[in-house]
Structure 1
Amino acid sequence: MNLANLASRLDNIAPFHVMELAKMAAALEQQGRHIIHMGIGEPDFTAPPLVVAAATQAMNDGKMQYTSATGLPALRAAISDHYRSVYGLEITPSRIVVTAGASAALLLACAALVEKGAEVLMPDPSYPCNRHFVAAFDGVAQMIASGPEQRFQLSDEAVRLHWSAATRGVLLASPSNPTGTSILPDELAKILATVREKNGFAIVDEIYQGLTYDAQPFSALSLSDDVIVINSFSKYFNMTGWRLGWLVLPEKLVPQIEKLAQNLFICASSIAQHAALACFEPASLAIYEERKAEFKRRRDFLVPELIALGFKVPVIPDGAFYIYADCSALADDADHLVKGIMQEVGVSVVSGLDFGAFTAPNYIRLSYATSMENLQEAVRRLRKFFGKEDV
């Protein structure tokens, strides 16, 4: 194969440094080191018993054939009921498309909406794969510096200021990876109004919306029928490896997304879909709410401990399971710092390098999707690293 024939768009896809640090951690573990993993955003909880049992039953019953490209009708109806019970919203099942994870949902949305040269506005910092989905369809992710004053999120003012003739829409996440911060409802309403005024599109990633701690869960769907919302069974529902998510779309866009899904994916995993029906059983929902409370307990433990170590946490995360901490008082280079922490005391965290140039030198992201015992030990090790206790 002549590598010179590779598509030029690959030049716009950067490596995922989080995964490179995971490889470094794995190498240290092979040497016999004990590593506390606070780098990758994956819940330490797994699917509840009813979900596992539903998957087993589906396999025993032979329910392993293709489903419709839009998903099992029963699952689409269950998701619709979930919006009614949690958010008080009437979202018809026909607007819901079940996907092979939130990643497939983002890919389908970008395939439908992003053309060559089209600019999509998103905050810096933000989840790196989002800008790469745009680049995969030859669009341009226009990263807008968004500091703690904006809760690390786009503001309506920033959207208006940066909207150009090439701009086609915005891609937001609330709560966000890496910051755990949400867009305030009033600000989101202004942004969506501006996008509508500009005749653009708005994609809102809500995969962490179920893990909102300090206010009632809030969906962009309550503000507009034109917004495209992405969600997932990975985070709140603890089904990361099952690869299952969904899109909520304007009705007129569903046939176009269905056409793309038929060609690109055929359908999401049928077994995962049958299993996910059990996510909405009262016993499963009770477990999820207990786990959500545990995530909040971990956040409330870790934030003050980091501040005591000398980090700044300028915006307390209100969702997800991340803390985005300013390390500028402790180090000149966040990436150098996280590698030193891993090598010296065996705690794996990540720098802002993946999430955008604006915050990369000065911020680290810590995931508290691990046990309280691990978090307590990580704090002890960090105290040792920073010379905050006698050892």
Structure 2
Amino acid sequence: MSIPTPNNLESQTARALQLAQRVDAIEPFRVMEMLKAAAALRHDGADVISMSVGEPDFTAPEPVAAAAMEAIRSGVTQYTDSLGVAPLREAIAAHYASAWGLKVDPRRIVVTAGASAGLLLACAALVAEGDEILMPDPCYPCNRHFVSAFGGKPILIPSSPDDRYQLTAQQVDERWSERTRGVVVASPSNPTGTSMTAEQLRAMLQSVRAHGGFAVVDEIYQGLSYDGRPTSALAYGDDVITVNSFSKYFNMTGWRLGWLVVPEALVPVFEKLAQNLFICPSTIAQHAALACFDAETIAIYEERRLEFKRRRDFIVPALRELGFAVPVMPDGAFYVYADISQLPHHDANDSSAFAMSVLRQAHVAIVPGGDFGFAAPDKHVRFSYATKYERIEEAVERLARLFRR
């Protein structure tokens, strides 16, 4: 018997650890380089204003925290049904009725370990090897990576300010092929903060339906809408799959809790997948989330929503005054997708270099457009206004000083 040499061991290890091809289709988050650079500056004593992370600066209100602690003290910490506890599914259904005027059967609600788990379940159920899935460009990068993880091919279609950076019925009709299986869209969207109008949404869904495809609509920012009550895709048919979350409007990012609304016929499919992939969502988070829907807690969330609107109403005109182009007022979420190409700055044609310059010279952290797609990413950066109003004011002053140099 031969004794393995070091070189043979390395070769055997390399073969054993050969990665699946799907890994190559998933790109790294470029923004992580920005976050590491910002952390290094903070370590050296710099006062860095973060306008990069898509996370509310608010945390869960006291009634939610108290409900979590009561669940722990009472020993309510064991596995739940894979679809989520019945009282929470019922509370979510009641919220659709009170907030959006929609009747949703609680049986159609699938509670998940965050919206990410919901999107993974939807892709596991619907995307087969080689399927093409249409999306607008720009869009949240993980959405296309979820498709790639299940062997699908995300087809990013450049969107424009004229269409509120959203996928249109005409684009669906023009780009649908024999390999197309469905669409994944978000309203309001990350990174643009723009929603589909009711007519856009209705027409787009009709087009998908006419082609025999599926529609997954990410509505995690719908609670953070500022210019009237938005329209849910659920208003246009029970065949639509919607994704939602307790992370954004409900300020529970680290609790990892979300939900899907799926066609009733697909509930057993999603239940089977959830049982095998996740077992169940966090039990403690589910019982805490029940307190989200109490009247006193909703009042807190509504105050916070209006504070986000106040920040938006300041930051967008301020950025335009500095020379950023923001052709569409974001109506939801907490993002501004801004064109830098006309700015008086030497890196105005390279958003990655521009964002790094802003970080190093003004100590303001923003996100370059490269993470969000392939439609003019070098011309765009994303600002998150999920930080205190006073810090946003200070960030604008720093940018103004930078551009005057």
TM bin, normalised by shorter chain, reads over 0.9
- Superposition map of 1:219-298 within 5 A: 219-298=232-311
The answer to whether the aligner puts 1:129 opposite 2:142 as a matched pair is yes
Which stretches in structure 1 are left out of the alignment for 5+ residues? Answer: none
Q: Aligned equivalents of 2:295 and 2:33: distance in 1?
A: 39
The answer to whether the aligner puts 1:29 opposite 2:46 as a matched pair is no
**Aligned residue identity for 2:285:** A
Pick the aligned partner of 2:167 from 116, 132, 154: 154
Instruction: Please tell me whether the aligned partners of residues 86 and 217 of structure 1 are also in contact (alpha carbons under 8 angstroms).
Output: no
Task: Show the counterpart of 2:4.
Answer: none
1:68-119 per-position Cα deviation (integer Å, ceiling 9, x unaligned): 0000100000000000101111101100000000000000000000000000
Instruction: Please tell me whether the aligned partners of residues 242 and 272 of structure 1 are also in contact (alpha carbons under 8 angstroms).
Output: yes
1:385 deviation in Å? 1.0
RMSD between aligned alpha carbons? 0.9
Pick the aligned partner of 1:11 from 15, 20, 24: 24
Q: Aligned equivalents of 1:209 and 1:18: distance in 2?
A: 24
1:283-302 per-position Cα deviation (integer Å, ceiling 9, x unaligned): 10000000000000000001
Q: Aligned equivalents of 1:342 and 1:352: distance in 2?
A: 15
- Superposition map of 1:237-386 within 5 A: 237-330=250-343, 331-386=348-403
**Aligned residue identity for 2:404:** G
1:221 deviation in Å? 0.2
1:272 deviation in Å? 0.2
Task: Show the counterpart of 2:9.
Answer: none
Moved over 4 A (4+): none
**Aligned residue identity for 1:243:** R
1:309-358 per-position Cα deviation (integer Å, ceiling 9, x unaligned): 11010010000000011111021111110000001110000111000010
Q: Aligned equivalents of 1:383 and 1:164: distance in 2?
A: 48
1:158 deviation in Å? 0.5
Q: Please, what TM-score do these two structures have when normalized by structure 2? A: 0.95
Instruction: Please tell me whether the aligned partners of residues 66 and 270 of structure 1 are also in contact (alpha carbons under 8 angstroms).
Output: yes
- Superposition map of 1:39-54 within 5 A: 39-54=52-67
The answer to whether the aligner puts 1:91 opposite 2:108 as a matched pair is no
Q: Aligned equivalents of 2:173 and 2:183: distance in 1?
A: 11
**Larger displacement relative to structure 2 (17-26 or 275-284):** 17-26
Q: Please, what TM-score do these two structures have when normalized by structure 1? A: 0.98
**Aligned residue identity for 1:74:** P
Instruction: Please tell me whether the aligned partners of residues 145 and 358 of structure 1 are also in contact (alpha carbons under 8 angstroms).
Output: yes
Percent identity between the two aligned chains: 59
| Paired residues, number | 388
1:130 deviation in Å? 0.2
1:23 deviation in Å? 1.4
Q: Aligned equivalents of 2:228 and 2:372: distance in 1?
A: 26
Pick the aligned partner of 1:203 from 216, 236, 240: 216
